[in-house]
Chains A and B, each alone.
Chain A
Amino acid sequence: DQQVKQNSPSLSVQEGRISILNCDYTNSMFDYFLWYKKYPAEGPTFLISISSIKDKNEDGRFTVFLNKSAKHLSLHIVPSQPGDSAVYFCAASEYQGGSEKLVFGKGTKLTVNP
C-alpha cells in the first residue's frame, strides 16, 4: 500500500531539454512535499520542496508543481544537464504528534544524454 508513487522507474532525456518527473500520493493529510536526489554510493540530498498551501516553487533550473486536487506533483528540470543524471525520490510529510515523518516513493532514475 504505497502512499507515494513514482510510476516511472526511469527517464532518459537529451541535454538541454526539459526533464519532467512525476509523483502521485494518496494521503490527503500530507502537508509538505520534497524531492531528493541520489547519486550512486551516496546518501540522498535535498533538492527542492513545496508546502501544500502553494502550487509552485522554483529554484534555479528546478521547479516543483503541486496539484492538490489531483494529488499529483511534478519536478521540472530546465535545461537538463548530464550532471543531473541521478535517482530522484519524491517524499511526502505529515506533521503529527510533535514530529514529522517522510514517506518516500521508489524513485525515478534520470539519465541526461550529452
Chain B
Amino acid sequence: NAGVTQTPKFRILKIGQSMTLQCAQDMNHNYMYWYRQDPGMGLKLIYYSVGAGITDKGEVPNGYNVSRSTTEDFPLRLELAAPSQTSVYFCASSYGLSGSTDTQYFGPGTRLTVL
C-alpha cells in the first residue's frame, strides 16, 4: 500500500497561473480531504469529499476547486494563483465511519510558492 500520494512535491507559480495538485489513495477510503498549512499555523480544511461525486467546502475554500470522479483520486485546482495561496497543501483520507470519528491518513504534502 502506498497510502496517500501527492504530486508534485514542490511547485513555484506566477501570479495568475493555474495548476492542479494531485492526490490519490489506495486504501479504498470513502472520505478525502484537502488542507493547507501556513507557517506557524495549524491545518485548515479547504474542501472535503465523502464519496465519488460528492464534495463540500471546508473552512477556507475561496480560490480553489475540487472534483471527485473516482474513489481513489481527489485533485485540487487553483485558478488564478495569488501570493496568499503560498502554503503547504496536505491531502488526507479516511474510511468515513458512520456516526463516529476515524483516523485521517495524510499524504507528504505539496509545497506551493506563488510569486
Contacts and interface: CB of A to CB of B under 8 A. Distances in A.
Centre residue among B41, B100, B101, B108 by max chain A CB count within 10 A? B101
B106 A106 contact: no
B4 A43 contact: yes
Interface residues of B, number: 27
A106 B42 contact: yes
The main secondary structure of chain A at its interface with chain B is strand
Contact of A99 (B48, B92, B108): B48
B85 interface: no
A42 B109 contact: yes
Interface string B101-115: 101111111000000
A101 B90 CA distance: 15
B105 A95 contact: no
A93 interface: yes
B45 A101 contact: yes
Contacts of B50: 98-99
B42 A107 contact: yes
Nearest to A92: B101
B42 A105 contact: yes
Contact count band on A: 20 to 34
A42 B37 CA distance: 12
Interface string B74-113: 0000000000000000101000101111011111110000
Contact of A44 (B40, B44, B45, B90): B90
12 contacts: A9-B40, A41-B108, A43-B90, A43-B108, A43-B109, A46-B104, A95-B100, A100-B101, A102-B43, A102-B45, A102-B104, A104-B42
Interface of B: 4, 31, 35, 40-45, 48, 50, 56, 58, 90, 92, 96, 98-101, 103-109
